Structure 1
Amino acid sequence: MSRQGHRAKPPAARTVLVTATAWALAAIFVLPYLEMVVTAGRPAGELRDSGYLPGHFDWSSFVRVWSDTTLAQNLRITLVVALGSTLLVLAVALPAAYYTARVDFRGRKAFLLLVLVTQMFQPTALQVGLYREFFTLDLLDTVLVLVLANAAFNLAFAVWILSAYIAAIPVELEEAAQIDGNGRIGALFRVTLPLAMPGVVTAVIFTFIAAWNEFVMGLTLTTSTDRQPLTVGINNMIGAYSVQWNYVFAASVVAIVPVIVLFAVIERHVVSGLTAGSVR
Structure 2
Amino acid sequence: MATATAARPTARAPRRTFRPRTLVIAVCAWALAAVFLAPYLEMIVTALRPKSELRDRTYLPQHFEWANFVEVWKESTLGQNLQVSLVVAGGATLLVLLVSLPAAYCTARMRYRGRKLFLLLVLVTQMFQPTALLVGLYREFHQLDMLNSVWTLILANAAFNLAFAVWILTAYIGSIPPELEEAAMVDGTSRFGAMVKVTLPLALPGVVTTVIFTFISAWNEFVMGLTLTTEPDKQPLTVGINNFIGAYTVEWNYLFAASVVAIVPVVVLFAFIERHVVSGLTAGSVK
State TM-score, norm by structure 1: 0.93
Distance 2:279 2:12 in 1: 41
Aligned with residue 149 of structure 2, among 138, 142, 145: 142
Distance 1:221 1:272 in 2: 38
Match of 2:58 in 1: 51
Match of 2:15 in 1: 7
Q: What pairs up with 1:247-262 in 2 under 5 angstroms?
A: 247-262=254-269
Distance 1:183 1:7 in 2: 58
Check whether the contact 1:168–1:277 (CA below 8 A) recurs between aligned residues.
no
Aligned-residue Cα RMSD (Å) equals 2.0
Matched letter for residue 275 of structure 2: R
Match of 2:217 in 1: 210
1:140 CA drift (Å): 1.3
Q: What pairs up with 1:22-41 in 2 under 5 angstroms?
A: 22-41=29-48
| SS across alignment from 1:6 | coil
Match of 2:271 in 1: 264
Q: What pairs up with 1:62-211 in 2 under 5 angstroms?
A: 62-211=69-218
Bigger mean CA deviation after superposition, 16-25 or 171-180 = 16-25
1:182 CA drift (Å): 0.5
1:20 CA drift (Å): 2.0
Distance 2:244 2:138 in 1: 24
Aligned with residue 20 of structure 1, among 18, 27, 30: 27
1:275 CA drift (Å): 6.5
Bigger mean CA deviation after superposition, 197-206 or 177-186 = 197-206
Check whether the contact 1:165–1:273 (CA below 8 A) recurs between aligned residues.
no
Distance 1:28 1:134 in 2: 43
1:274 CA drift (Å): 5.6
**CA gap 1:5/1:254 in 2 versus in 1, 3 angstroms:** closer
Distance 1:141 1:276 in 2: 42
Distance 1:274 1:142 in 2: 37
Matched letter for residue 92 of structure 1: V
Distance 2:12 2:190 in 1: 64
Aligned residues: 279
Matched letter for residue 77 of structure 2: T
State TM-score, norm by structure 2: 0.91
1:17 CA drift (Å): 2.5
Distance 1:236 1:245 in 2: 11
Distance 2:98 2:46 in 1: 41
Check whether the contact 1:164–1:277 (CA below 8 A) recurs between aligned residues.
no
1:5 CA drift (Å): 7.5
Distance 1:86 1:218 in 2: 16
Structure 2 spans left out of the alignment, 5+ residues: 1-8
1:229 CA drift (Å): 0.2
Distance 1:81 1:36 in 2: 25
Distance 2:274 2:12 in 1: 40
Check whether the contact 1:164–1:276 (CA below 8 A) recurs between aligned residues.
no
| SS across alignment from 1:140 | coil
| SS across alignment from 1:266 | helix
**CA gap 1:191/1:71 in 2 versus in 1, 3 angstroms:** same
1:190 CA drift (Å): 1.0
Distance 2:286 2:112 in 1: 24
Distance 1:258 1:214 in 2: 15
1:116 CA drift (Å): 2.2
Distance 2:12 2:278 in 1: 40
Distance 1:196 1:184 in 2: 16
Task: Render the CA deviation track for 1:50-101: whole Å, top value 9, x for unaligned.
Answer: 2111111111101111111100000000011011111110110000000011
Matched letter for residue 265 of structure 2: P
